[in-house]
Amino acid sequence: MSDTQPISYVRDTMLGQQEPPATQRGVVKWLRENLFSNWLNSILTLAALVAIYLILTSVGPWLLNSIWDAESLRECRDILDGTPGACFAVITDRWHQLLFGFYPPEHYWRPVLALVLLLIALAPILFAELPRKMLYFSAVFPFIGYHLLWGGSVWFPISVFLGFVAGYIAFRALAKVSALVSVIGAVAATLVWWFFIAGPFDAAMYSVAPIGLEFVRSESFGGFLISLVIGVTGISLSLPLGILLALGRQSDMLFVKTVCVVFIEFIRGVPLITLLFTASLLLNYFLPPGTNFDLILRVIIMVTLFAAAYMAEVIRGGLAALPKGQYEAADALGLDYWKAQRLIIMPQALKISIPGIVNTFISLFKDTTLVVFIGLLDPLGLSNAIRADTAWTGIYWELFIFIGALFFIFCFSMSRYSMYLERKLKTDHR
Amino acid sequence: MSENAAAERNIDTSKMQVSDELAIQINGMNKWYGSFHVLRDINMSVYAGERIVICGPSGSGKSTLIRCINRLEEHQAGQIIVDGTELTGDLKNIDKVRSEVGMVFQHFNLFPHLTILENCTLAPIWVRKIPKREAEETAMHFLEKVKIPEQANKYPGQLSGGQQQRVAIARSLCMKPRIMLFDEPTSALDPEMIKEVLDTMISLAEEGMTMLCVTHEMGFAQAVANRVIFMDQGQIVEQNEPKEFFNNPQSDRTKLFLSQILGH
Ligand SMILES: Nc1ncnc2c1ncn2[C@@H]1O[C@H](COP(=O)(O)OP(=O)(O)OP(=O)(O)O)[C@@H](O)[C@H]1O
Ligand SMILES: [Mg+2]
Inform me whether the pLDDT recorded for A239 exceeds 60: yes
pLDDT tens digits, A188-204: 999 999 888 888 888 88
Top residue of B99, B109, B118, B153 to mutate, by most chain A CBs within 10 Å, is B109
- Find the residue in B nearest to A350 (Cα): B113
CA-based max dimension of chain A: 112
* pLDDT confidence band for A2 (50 / 70 / 90): low
pLDDT tens digits, A383-412: 888 888 888 888 888 899 999 999 999 999
- Kindly state whether B102 is in contact with chain A, defined as any CB-CB distance less than 8 angstroms: yes
Instruction: List phi, psi (to 5°) of A420.
Output: -60, -45
Amino acid (1-letter code) at residue A107: H
The candidate with the shortest Cα–Cα distance to B119, out of A204, A233, A333, is: A333
pLDDT tens digits, A105-138: 999 999 999 999 999 999 999 998 888 899 999 9
- Kindly state whether B176 is in contact with chain A, defined as any CB-CB distance less than 8 angstroms: no
Pairwise CA distance, residues A239 & A361, whole Å: 9
pLDDT tens digits, A11-23: 888 888 888 777 7
pLDDT tens digits, A50-90: 999 999 988 888 888 888 888 888 888 888 888 888 888 88
| B chain contacts of residue A348, beta-carbon cutoff 8 Å | 111-113
Torsion angle of the four alpha carbons A197, A200, A201, A204, in this order, in degrees rounded to the nearest 10: -160
- Model pLDDT, residue A248: 94
- Find the residue in B nearest to A347 (Cα): B113
Cβ of A427 and B113 within 8 Å?
A: yes
Give the up-direction half-sphere exposure of residue A307: CA atoms within 13 A in the CB hemisphere.
Answer: 30
| Under 8 Å between Cβ of B201 and B182 | yes
- Model pLDDT, residue A262: 96
The candidate with the shortest Cα–Cα distance to A311, out of A371, A254, A249, A253, is: A249
Give yes or no for residue B74 CB within 6 A of ligand 1. no
Pairwise CA distance, residues A213 & A208, whole Å: 16
What's the gap in Å between the CA of A351 and the closest CA on chain B? Answer: 9
- Find the residue in B nearest to A428 (Cα): B157
Cα A212 to ligand 2 centroid, rounded to whole Å: 67
Strand order in the sheet with B77-82: B36-47, B22-33, B77-82, B85-86
The mean per-residue pLDDT over the stretch B95-107 comes to 92
- The secondary structure of A231-259 as a DSSP string is HHHHHHHHHHHHHHHHHHHT-S-HHHHHH
Inform me whether the pLDDT recorded for B105 exceeds 60: yes
Mean pLDDT of chain A: 88
The candidate with the shortest Cα–Cα distance to B60, out of B218, B224, B216, is: B216
Instruction: Find the CB nearest A332 among B72, B155, B158.
Output: B72
Q: How far apart are the first and last CA of chain A?
A: 44
pLDDT tens digits, A138-153: 999 999 999 999 988 8
- Kindly state whether A180 is in contact with chain B, defined as any CB-CB distance less than 8 angstroms: no
Size of interface A-B (CB pairs under 8 A): 70
Instruction: Provide the 10 A C-beta neighbour count for residue A346.
Output: 19
Instruction: Find the CB nearest A329 among B101, B109, B127.
Output: B109
- Kindly state whether A428 is in contact with chain B, defined as any CB-CB distance less than 8 angstroms: yes
Inform me whether the pLDDT recorded for A291 exceeds 70: no
Please tell me which residue, B12 or B154, carries the higher pLDDT value: B154
What's the gap in Å between the CA of A168 and the closest CA on chain B? Answer: 20
* pLDDT confidence band for B82 (50 / 70 / 90): very high
pLDDT tens digits, A41-54: 889 999 999 999 99
Give yes or no for residue B64 CB within 6 A of ligand 1. yes
- Model pLDDT, residue B115: 94
Name, of A159-163, A368-372, B137-141, B217-221, the range with top average pLDDT. Answer: B137-141
Helix, strand, coil shares of chain B as percentages rounded to 5?
Answer: 40, 25, 35
